[in-house]
Amino acid sequence: MSRLADQQISIWLGNRRGIGMIGVGLLACMLPLAIGFVSAKLNPTTSQQGAILLALVFPAFLLAIFQSRLLIPYTLLVWAVGPEIRRIADWLEGTYHSVSLLSLAPLLVSSMLIIPVLRGIHEAEKPLTRIAVFFGIELGYGSVVGLFKNGIVFAYDLANYVIPLLLLPYLAIKPMKAKELDRLLYSYANIAVLVAIYGIIQYLTVPPWDAFWMNHVEMNSIGLPEPLQIRVFSSMNSPGPCAIFLAMALVPMLMEKRWRGTLGWIGILLTVVCLLITLVRSAWLIAFVMLLAYILSSSSKGKWKTLFQLAIVGLLLYMIVPKLPGAEGLVARMQTLTDIQQDHSYNERLDLLNTMIPAVVGNPVGQGIGSVGIGTKLDNGGDLGELGIMDNGYIAIFLTFGIFGAFFFFGGLFVIIKRLLVRIAERDSTQPYIRLALATWAGAVASLISDNGFPGMRGYLIWMMIGIGLWAKDVIAERR
């Protein structure tokens, strides 16, 4: 009887795979026709943007269909270079677009993670279910409030929250072996070094497409479009995301040799130099907290080795930085850390805190998703809305999700740190990955004093590194 049932299951699975392959084949045949039909109805600008967007998304679709381990590195690459592709497209056309289809490229590429997730969601473990419940309630509540208060524009911000979170079930359902995890972090390091190299070139030369964008975007905080006068944003859309991308790559590069990328220590120095010329101090806070958490959770022998390496890097920076072109502005920026009371940015954040706390207390329901951050552009003619820039992540979360939603958001973070601490106590061969996840969690929570980094690119990096540690498998268990 059981053999007959097994045969029926095998036939059903075989039929399902066959149907799936037929579906993929039909989609591949119909897609060019659909693209051609839609392109004929669009204006030339939208058609061009759509073609570039599809060229970026389609490789991710194929990687997801064939369950390739290259899917995450490819999505990281698109997060890194997507804004640059958009700038070059605008420059070639000679027209700046404040809202562009190409800005959706990283989200749409990353959304392809849903394909392997849906295939294996039935294999989810209990810890993933518990985490999903907390964040699901938070996002569901924020979506309902956002729909009523902000209209359909909430959908864009919701995607920025949900799509990065797909990495948790993806890494849980398809856990990677140690070599695959090392290869993923190695790829991240290489992408970060490429971003750093371009950032240094940008600082010294300012390519014309970047200057074109700076002249139209009206963002005074990024300096002048002239060599040595620019706050580097490299291939990203502003110095902040660029600095975060580099800082979060720098920590694993410093901590483990196998995560340093092709150029090794040279890559580390290039990354540090580019991070410095972004002039983003909050990124250094994240890197410092991550390094501290990683070192404190290491063995005694590992701590001394790491501290020695960091001392060498610090000494090299002390010798190199003052000799960099345009180092005067960089040194002046760093000196503000020694007199924080006189720092303009610090005082602005303090005033914001005093202003917004009464607003949070007076609105316990929250404003809903779509009320805070870059999503406000969609309902404001391409310009940021009243709450478009919020330099305090804790305030942003309470404003968005209210007291109820914020409770489940921080509850989800608590479930994650509890799980990581349990795994740290096991002391198996996955310790480096778990310590990296612990360090990322600490850096993400600490960064909330600056802004809410859980949506978008930073959220993608946070959930990637936390997911690596949550479901890294012991090497001995893999061999068995």
The pLDDT value recorded for residue 352 is 59
Cα gap 443→427, rounded to integer Å: 22
58's tokens: 């389609």
Cα gap 210→103, rounded to integer Å: 16
The pLDDT value recorded for residue 67 is 85
Q: How many CB atoms lie within 10 A of CB 358?
A: 9
The pLDDT value recorded for residue 14 is 46
Q: Residue 45, class by beta-carbon neighbours within 10 Å (0-12 exposed, 13-18 middle, 19+ buried)?
A: middle
Cα gap 242→79, rounded to integer Å: 10
User: For 318-376, what is the HEC assignment?
Assistant: HHHHHHCCCHHHHHHHHHHHHHHHHCHHHHHHHHHHHHHHHHHHHCCCCCCCCCCCHHH
370: which DSSP letter? T
Q: What is the pTM of this model?
A: 0.83
Residue 3 falls within a domain, yes or no? no
Residue 12 falls within a domain, yes or no? no
The pLDDT value recorded for residue 238 is 87
311's tokens: 């001392």
470's tokens: 């949550």
Q: How many CB atoms lie within 10 A of CB 220?
A: 7
228's tokens: 């040595």
Partners of 223 in the β-ladder: 230
Phi/psi at 230 (5° precision): -110, 140
Between CA 149 and CA 156, with CA 155 as vertex, the angle to 5 degrees is: 115
Residue 4 falls within a domain, yes or no? no
Per residue in 144-174, is it b (16+ CB within 10 Å) or e — as a string?
A: ebbbeebeebbbbbbbbbbbbbbbbbbbbbb
Helix (H) or strand (E) holding 241, with range, is helix 239-255
Q: Are 235 and 207 in contact (CB under 8 A)?
A: no
Long-range Cβ contact pairs of 350-353 (< 8 A, separation 24 or more)? 352/390, 352/391, 352/392, 352/395, 353/392, 353/395
Residue 467 falls within a domain, yes or no? yes
Cα gap 316→383, rounded to integer Å: 42
Phi/psi at 223 (5° precision): 85, -160
Between CA 396 and CA 399, with CA 398 as vertex, the angle to 5 degrees is: 60
The pLDDT value recorded for residue 2 is 44
Residue with tokens 């309470």: 398
Q: How confident is the prediction along the chain (480 residues), in pLDDT tens digits per residue?
A: 445 444 544 444 445 555 544 554 555 555 444 544 444 455 666 777 788 888 889 999 999 888 888 999 999 999 999 999 999 988 888 888 777 788 888 999 999 999 888 887 776 666 788 888 899 998 998 888 888 887 777 788 888 999 999 999 898 887 788 888 999 999 999 999 999 999 999 999 999 999 888 888 877 778 888 888 888 998 998 898 999 999 999 999 988 888 988 988 899 989 988 998 888 888 888 888 998 888 888 766 666 767 776 777 677 766 666 666 655 555 555 555 555 555 555 555 555 566 667 666 677 787 888 777 665 555 555 555 556 566 677 888 888 888 888 899 999 999 999 988 888 877 777 888 999 999 999 999 988 888 888 888 999 999 999 999 888 765 445 444
At residue 444, the 3 state secondary structure works out as: helix
Query: What one-letter code names the amino acid at 235?
Result: S
CA distances from 447 to 142, 246, 290 (A): 22, 15, 11
Phi/psi at 100 (5° precision): -130, 145
Partners of 52 in the β-ladder: none
Phi/psi at 442 (5° precision): -65, -45
Residue 7 falls within a domain, yes or no? no
Residue 112 falls within a domain, yes or no? yes
Residue with tokens 């061969």: 429
Helix (H) or strand (E) holding 459, with range, is helix 456-470
The pLDDT value recorded for residue 48 is 79
The pLDDT value recorded for residue 81 is 93
Residue 16 falls within a domain, yes or no? no
CA distances from 90 to 80, 83, 99, 108, 234 (A): 18, 11, 11, 20, 17
In the chain, how many domains are there?
A: 1
Which residue range is the domain that position 93 belongs to?
33-479
Cα gap 92→209, rounded to integer Å: 8
Helix 71-93 and helix 208-217, axial crossing angle in degrees, nearest 10 = 80
The pLDDT value recorded for residue 9 is 43
207's tokens: 């390519």
Cα gap 420→422, rounded to integer Å: 5
Per residue in 2-26, is it b (16+ CB within 10 Å) or e — as a string?
A: eeeeeeeeeeeeeeeeeeeeeeeee
Residue 28 falls within a domain, yes or no? no
Cα gap 254→308, rounded to integer Å: 11
Cα gap 179→167, rounded to integer Å: 18
Residue with tokens 């948790």: 168
